[in-house]
Amino acid sequence: MARHSKLQKQVLALYRQFLRAGQDKPGFIPRIHDEFRENARIKKTDVMHIEYLYRRGQRQLEQLKDVNTKQLGTFSKTGEKS
């Protein structure tokens, strides 16, 4: 089995924390799976982007752990019209 880098271990730990935090909130687990799967396509050599997403994930996890959190919002890019 291949050894994971420190950053990979941190991301996997963050994923497990998200799954634990999302258990009590309906509809969060599929969203967590989708988000991590989508970002799994990022090249392993793009460390800056991965670190940015990791920090963003930590902030989102803190929001998810808040007892008042009922849903997570998303931002999506829309096509620009010329």
Residue 22 has pLDDT above 60, yes or no: yes
Q: State mean pLDDT over 16-28.
A: 89
Average pLDDT, the chain: 85
Residue of 18, 10, 7, 82 lying closest to 48 (CA atoms): 7
28-67 core/surface letters (b: 16 or more CB in 10 A; e: else): beeebeebbeeeeeeeeeeeeebeebeeebeebbeebeee
Cβ–Cβ < 8 Å for 4, 12 = yes
What is the radius of gyration, based on Cα positions, of the chain? 14
38-69 pLDDT per residue, tens: 999 999 999 999 999 999 999 999 988 887 76
